[in-house]
């Protein structure tokens, strides 16, 4: 039997990059996967098509998780279609780096409203759909909370909040057998990091030089860890922050 | 196909408790397993018998990890029996709690020799055979995070294990060898039963501080050890996984 057979998993921000890879790997392990996207219907449709072509089950649902009313609507749809949930992957996030001098309230709210408030509200709604056997919440944080790179104050702050929330909710939800863990990737080669110019840059070369395993991450490096955290194999892990970055810290 | 099919693993201190559970889980996932023991041949033979009865492959090998020649002998047994080595689980460990007033040099040397020097010696021997994709799993302890009173020596050894995990992850990463620590909280084993921990008020207090509301079982730890030994954790190195049901 597959590791995640009969489980229903919801992945936010799964139209591309790490989220898309996690959705595909969860489906490959036997889960029914709900693929959320905010803007890229084409990307989400491709994720779903890849899953169904491989014999898996998935559906795409639009919803911008920086908007509380859209979160409520998405979960109402999930409840109506599936009636329950077993795994939530809080992956939807935005990032922008900038010096302290460039910090604005608008940029602060743009990142915090999705990366932190969206994660909290998504978890609140998911927990209401978890059954008597509990469930697994996987918060996609970032290696930046350990490294705290210069000129990333807003983004790193959102991910520091995510680490903290992971610990709080692990304690708060443990009695209901709901596990909450953070999966904190280092730099990963995605459409996002490619278009931002990270991949191929001197910045990337510097990071690789500091990475014991000597390369940048690929989305599937992260996705296989997410499958583990979603599965009962990690049933005794909660409140943990897994830094998945080839040893870079 | 198992998660570890085709791999060869050495598990030190595998005659009972967590080590035995890891060895059995590895056997069930398709690895060929060297089941090391220091003194309990009967225990190790029972673990091997359980693995082979389930269709797996294993051999019991005696050896004290704190003696360099014996540590090499344990690793050499993997090569002699199965021709290669992919995973080393440094599980051998001893513990004894004492207040600072009554700890002794003998206690210090016994615990550091097995828990720290032994881990370094088996790792040194293993590195001669591990190739890219190899995985070293150091079984540490939650104590390095919670630093309980009256555990200065034992917690000192496990703090050293955490530190060595980080150092060797950087040192062996360029060879493609991963090094991670798996740090359990209280686990119900022959050892913790004999020590009177299971069933005690201490246990009740620990459970009340554990989000998942129970103490650990050896298999809770073994499934995580399977993950760390498998290619699914190929991008994880230098990590310390606290496997404690959320207690910290």
Q: How confident is the model at residue B197 (pLDDT cuts 50, 70, 90)?
A: confident
Rounded-to-10 torsion of CA B8, B23, B241, A144: 20
Which residues of chain A make contact with B223, given a CB cutoff of 8 A?
Answer: 232-236
Q: Name which of A174, A235, A246 is nearest B237 (Cβ-Cβ).
A: A246
The answer, yes or no, to whether residue A2 has pLDDT greater than 80, is no
Mean pLDDT of A128-133: 96
The phi, psi pair for B84, rounded to 5°, reads -165, 175
pLDDT, tens digit, 9 for 90 and up, residues A4-47: 999 999 999 999 999 999 999 999 999 999 999 999 999 999 99
Which residues of chain A make contact with B235, given a CB cutoff of 8 A?
Answer: 213, 217, 221-222, 224-225, 244-246
**Chain B residues with CB-CB distance to A under 8 A?**
169-170, 172-174, 176, 178, 210-213, 216, 220-221, 223-224, 226-227, 231-239, 241-246, 248
Contact B65, B112 (CB under 8 A): no
How far, in Å, CA of A244 to CA of A225, rounded? 8
Which residues of chain A make contact with B178, given a CB cutoff of 8 A?
Answer: 213, 247
Query: What does the pLDDT read at residue A203?
Result: 86
Contact B169, B179 (CB under 8 A): yes
Residue to test with chain B: of A236, A243, A245, most B Cβ within 10 A: A236
The answer, yes or no, to whether residue B33 has pLDDT greater than 60, is yes
Exactly one of A37, A75, A95, A155 is catalytic; name it: A155
Q: Nearest C-alpha of chain A: how many angstroms from B54?
A: 18
Query: What does the pLDDT read at residue B198?
Result: 86
Q: Which residues pair with A170 in a beta bridge?
A: none
Q: Nearest C-alpha of chain A: how many angstroms from B156?
A: 22
Name residues whose C-beta falls within 8 Å of residue A54's C-beta, 6 or more positions apart in sequence.
Answer: A24, A27, A28
Name residues whose C-beta falls within 8 Å of residue A247's C-beta, 6 or more positions apart in sequence.
Answer: A211, A212, A213, B169, B170, B173, B178, B237, B238
Q: Name which of A172, A228, A243 is nearest B239 (Cβ-Cβ).
A: A243
- Block residue for tokens 């690929």: A218
Contact status of A17 with chain B (Cβ, < 8 Å): no
Q: Nearest C-alpha of chain B: how many angstroms from A195?
A: 23
Contact status of A236 with chain B (Cβ, < 8 Å): yes
Instruction: List Cα–Cα distances, B76 to B16, B36, B64, B92, B170, in angstroms.
Output: 22, 12, 14, 17, 25
Mean pLDDT of B152-164: 95
Residue to test with chain A: of B178, B212, B241, most A Cβ within 10 A: B212
Which residues of chain A make contact with B234, given a CB cutoff of 8 A?
Answer: 221, 224
Name residues whose C-beta falls within 8 Å of residue B163's C-beta, 6 or more positions apart in sequence.
Answer: none
Q: Does the beta-carbon distance from A171 to B211 stay under 8 Å? A: yes
Which SS3 state, helix, strand or coil, does residue B213 take? coil
Of B203, B210, B202, nearest to B188 (Cα)? B203
- Pick the residue with more confidence: A22 or B198? A22
Mean pLDDT of A204-232: 96
Instruction: List Cα–Cα distances, B40 to A3, A41, B43, B63, in angstroms.
Output: 35, 61, 5, 10
Which SS3 state, helix, strand or coil, does residue A79 take? helix
Q: Does the beta-carbon distance from A243 to B172 stay under 8 Å? A: no
Of A55, A56, A54, nearest to A34 (Cα)? A56
How far, in Å, CA of A236 to CA of A223, rounded? 20
How far, in Å, CA of B108 to CA of B165, rounded? 21
Contact A73, A63 (CB under 8 A): yes
- Token pair of A66 as six digits: 């920086």
Residue to test with chain A: of B26, B169, B232, most A Cβ within 10 A: B232
Q: How confident is the model at residue A197 (pLDDT cuts 50, 70, 90)?
A: confident
Query: What does the pLDDT read at residue A136?
Result: 98
Q: How confident is the model at residue A1 (pLDDT cuts 50, 70, 90)?
A: low
Query: What does the pLDDT read at residue A3?
Result: 92
**pTM for the complete prediction?**
0.93
Residues constituting chain B: 248
Bridge pairing between strands A32-37 and B240-243: unpaired
B82 is catalytic: no
The answer, yes or no, to whether residue A198 has pLDDT greater than 90, is no
Q: Nearest C-alpha of chain B: how many angstroms from A153?
A: 25
The answer, yes or no, to whether residue B191 has pLDDT greater than 90, is no
Orientation angle between helical segments A68-82 and A119-129, nearest 10 degrees: 20
Mean pLDDT of A221-249: 97
Name residues whose C-beta falls within 8 Å of residue A235's C-beta, 6 or more positions apart in sequence.
Answer: A179, B220, B223
Mean pLDDT of B108-136: 97
Name residues whose C-beta falls within 8 Å of residue B7's C-beta, 6 or more positions apart in sequence.
Answer: B30, B31, B32, B86, B87, B229
Which residues of chain B make contact with A172, given a CB cutoff of 8 A?
Answer: 211
Query: What does the pLDDT read at residue A96?
Result: 92
Contact status of A174 with chain B (Cβ, < 8 Å): yes
Contact A71, A122 (CB under 8 A): yes
Q: Name which of A175, A225, A227 is nearest B236 (Cβ-Cβ).
A: A225
DSSP tag of B117: I
Q: Does the beta-carbon distance from A170 to B246 stay under 8 Å? A: yes
Q: Name which of A217, A235, A242 is nearest B239 (Cβ-Cβ).
A: A242
Q: Does the beta-carbon distance from B211 to A237 stay under 8 Å? A: no
Of B11, B78, B70, nearest to B44 (Cα)? B11
Mean pLDDT of A41-70: 98
Name residues whose C-beta falls within 8 Å of residue B55's C-beta, 6 or more positions apart in sequence.
Answer: none
Which residues of chain B make contact with A227, given a CB cutoff of 8 A?
Answer: 232
Contact B155, B144 (CB under 8 A): yes
The answer, yes or no, to whether residue B10 has pLDDT greater than 60, is yes
If you count residue pairs, one on A and one on B, with CB atoms under 8 Å apart, how many are there?
101
Instruction: List Cα–Cα distances, A152 to A42, A93, A164, A195, in angstroms.
Output: 30, 14, 18, 18
Query: What does the pLDDT read at residue A36?
Result: 98
Closest A-chain CA to B248:
A239
Edge-to-edge strands of the sheet including A241-244?
Answer: A57-62, A32-37, A8-11, A87-90, A135-140, A178-185, A241-244
Of A9, A134, A2, nearest to A59 (Cα)? A9
Percent of chain A with pLDDT over 90: 92
- Block residue for tokens 């033979």: B45
Name residues whose C-beta falls within 8 Å of residue B103's C-beta, 6 or more positions apart in sequence.
Answer: B152, B153
The answer, yes or no, to whether residue A68 has pLDDT greater than 70, is yes
Which SS3 state, helix, strand or coil, does residue B153 take? helix
Average of per-residue pLDDT values in chain A: 96
Contact status of A162 with chain B (Cβ, < 8 Å): no
């Amino acid at each position: 039997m597959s590791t995640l057979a009969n489980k229903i998993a919801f992945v936010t921000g799964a139209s591309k990059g790490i989220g898309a890879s996690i959705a595909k790997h969860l489906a490959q392990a036997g889960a029914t996967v709900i693929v959320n996207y905010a803007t890229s219907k084409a990307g989400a449709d491709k994720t779903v098509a890849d899953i169904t072509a491989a014999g898996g089950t998935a559906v795409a649902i639009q919803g911008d998780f920086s908007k509380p009313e859209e979160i409520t609507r998405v979960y109402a749809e999930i409840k109506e279609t599936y009636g329950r949930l077993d795994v939530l992957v809080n992956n939807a996030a935005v990032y922008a780096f900038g010096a302290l001098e460039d910090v604005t309230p608008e940029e602060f709210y743009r990142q915090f409203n999705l990366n932190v408030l969206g994660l909290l509200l998504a978890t609140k709604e998911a927990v209401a759909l978890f059954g008597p056997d509990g469930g697994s919440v996987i918060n996609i944080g970032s290696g930046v909370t350990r490294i705290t790179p210069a000129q990333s104050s807003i983004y790193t702050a959102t991910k520091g909040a995510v680490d903290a929330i992971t610990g709080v909710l692990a304690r708060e939800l443990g009695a209901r057998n709901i596990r909450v863990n953070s999966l904190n990737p280092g730099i990963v080669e995605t459409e996002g990091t490619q278009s931002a110019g990270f991949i191929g840059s001197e910045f990337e070369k510097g990071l690789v030089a500091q990475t014991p395993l000597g390369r940048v991450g690929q989305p599937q490096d992260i996705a296989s860890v997410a499958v583990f955290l979603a599965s009962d194999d990690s049933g005794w892990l909660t409140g943990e922050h897994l830094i998945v970055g080839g040893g870079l810290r | 196909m198992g998660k570890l099919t085709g791999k060869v693993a050495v598990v030190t201190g595998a005659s009972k408790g967590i080590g035995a559970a890891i060895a059995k889980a590895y056997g069930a996932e398709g690895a060929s397993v060297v089941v090391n023991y220091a003194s309990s041949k009967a225990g190790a033979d029972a673990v091997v018998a359980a693995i082979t009865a389930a269709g797996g492959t294993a051999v019991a090998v005696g050896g004290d990890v704190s003696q360099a020649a014996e540590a090499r002998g344990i690793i050499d047994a993997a090569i002699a029996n199965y021709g290669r080595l992919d995973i080393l689980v440094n599980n051998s460990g001893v513990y004894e709690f004492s207040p600072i007033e009554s700890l002794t040099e003998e206690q210090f040397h016994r615990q550091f020799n097995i828990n720290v020097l032994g881990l370094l010696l088996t790792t040194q021997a293993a590195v001669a055979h591990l190739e890219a994709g190899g995985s070293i799993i150091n079984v540490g302890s939650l104590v390095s995070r919670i630093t309980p009173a009256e555990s200065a020596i034992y917690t000192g050894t496990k703090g050293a294990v955490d530190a060595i995990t980080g150092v060797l992850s950087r040192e062996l990463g360029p060879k493609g060898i991963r090094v991670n620590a798996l740090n359990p909280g209280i686990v119900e084993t022959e050892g913790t039963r004999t020590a009177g921990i299971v069933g005690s008020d201490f246990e009740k207090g620990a459970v009340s501080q554990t989000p998942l509301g129970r103490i650990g079982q050896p298999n809770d730890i073994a499934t995580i050890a399977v993950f760390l030994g498998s290619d699914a954790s190929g991008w994880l190195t230098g990590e310390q996984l606290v496997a404690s049901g959320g207690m910290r």
